[in-house]
Structure 1
């Protein structure tokens, strides 16, 4: 059973990072934890973690940015190296917040951002929790139906509410009834931001070189990454294949893997009580 908690009061700011703006909401006290959201249409930090922020803020300083290209942050990322571009933005955000090191929690696109940041600068990451992260074995098989639906949202006949509802109810979650209509309404409204329409942040790679950069299982640094990592993967994930969890566990030297039954791509939303408990305990060193 999922606990629906109200969001606590949050401090909001728009920080300048290398000439671009990153929107941040934060609350709580304690070790800093950045929550990095997924890359679906209309995604943003606070909306993606609405069922987790309050609980985690009881023990941690919870920092929730809108990733570059999303929400109230500056639109546009480097499509030649999307994960590197996201990681550079969040690393710059750590600098602006005067944080030498922080825990990273990332879902899907945000998980890929966290993992790339850790590979490039492992000294900036304390512990990581990754939920169905992108970039795991992506060059070893054709895209999943869920990822195809996601990548096609802004193409063809363009965005529509039925198109978004199908992606969310059919591919993003295991139990379609768990997603309220108002969540879909808000995501659809945000997906129509004119700046996003002009420059969607999640698109098919334009070159084979960019595609290979987006597959972490081909990065030799993965087997040397010292950051303690907890991987949570929904057993019924239709966006990123659950087999990616085993790939990470086999390659990362300090990785715990938890496969979540009857759960899709949105573990932190669908199984919030379980996620909040596992995440808080892991980040505190209780494994």
Structure 2
């Protein structure tokens, strides 16, 4: 796997490239310590046996730079950044995988760009919902390991898997100098604002003609499965899989299921590309 950067609107963006074959773009979520490595470490390598995988850290996350001026929550900026990564591939057809907030970005990308041949979402946002305590914990930066474990417990059903390796993958991001203050400013205010920013209008959903596979954990206290259920009902070519004994972090909690479904889905959708 190679780590590379490109400049986007004056901010350095880090992305990872691994594998060969049809191209898959992977976009991570917005929780504490979220990054390409934090979200996708268990699935990028296996996917790379069949695909060229490009996974990008959104601005303000992972190894990408921070936005120099507020507002630090900038949905439109992240959508433009996703479009820039799509441009970078130089491909006529790609698959996209988006998690949580980035599931919404992936859906909007598909609605406006025919280069997205198919997309898969995990625990996606995209419809209005009422924030819970678990949602609010997701958007507040932990200041120590105990608070980090508490926040992650709202994202993972079987908390026994929150082991040393998982924590070490997130702690360098969370505990970087000044990052906690930056993150808390990013999600300062009413969570309803961020939920509304990620919600797609009915006409946007109707315009998505590509095949879409939505995975959602049945036991997701912060980002309810009702969003994926509603989206699947409106999408022309939407498929839905609800996973029992699974919360929000599907690629980590149910990596083998994720990989089996992704290979089947993209194997059909990107055949010949």
TM-score using structure 1 length:
0.85
Report whether the alignment pairs 1:129 with 2:120.
yes
| Counterparts of 1:195 and 1:65, CA distance in 2 | 22
Partner of residue 147, structure 2: 163
> How is 1:150-189 mapped onto 2 (pairs within 5 angstroms)?
150-153=138-141, 159-168=143-152, 170-189=153-172
| Counterparts of 2:70 and 2:264, CA distance in 1 | 35
SS in 1 for 2:108: helix
Gaps of 5+ in 2: none
Equivalent residues of 1:87, 1:117 under 8 A apart:
yes
Partner of residue 83, structure 2: 91
**Which stretch of the first structure deviates more once superposed, 38-47 or 276-285?**
38-47
Aligned mate of 1:12, from 3, 7, 10: 3
| Counterparts of 1:96 and 1:24, CA distance in 2 | 11
What whole-Å deviation, never above 9, does each CA across 1:72-116 have from its counterpart, x for those lacking one? Answer: 112128749733221110111222332344211011122122122
> RMSD of the alignment, in Å?
2.4
SS in 1 for 2:268: coil
Report whether the alignment pairs 1:35 with 2:26.
yes
Equivalent residues of 2:32, 2:140 under 8 A apart:
no
> How is 1:1-287 mapped onto 2 (pairs within 5 angstroms)?
10-76=1-67, 79=71, 82-119=74-111, 121-138=112-129, 142-153=130-141, 159-168=143-152, 170-194=153-177, 196-200=179-183, 202-204=186-188, 212-216=196-200, 218-285=201-268
| CA distance 1:202–1:234, shift in 2 (3 Å) | farther
Gaps of 5+ in 1: 1-9
1:198 Cα deviation after fit: 4.4
| CA distance 1:226–1:81, shift in 2 (3 Å) | farther
Equivalent residues of 1:17, 1:93 under 8 A apart:
no
| CA distance 1:124–1:21, shift in 2 (3 Å) | farther
1:146 Cα deviation after fit: 1.4
Aligned length: 268
TM-score using structure 2 length:
0.89
| CA distance 1:16–1:152, shift in 2 (3 Å) | closer
SS in 2 for 1:275: helix
SS in 2 for 1:103: strand
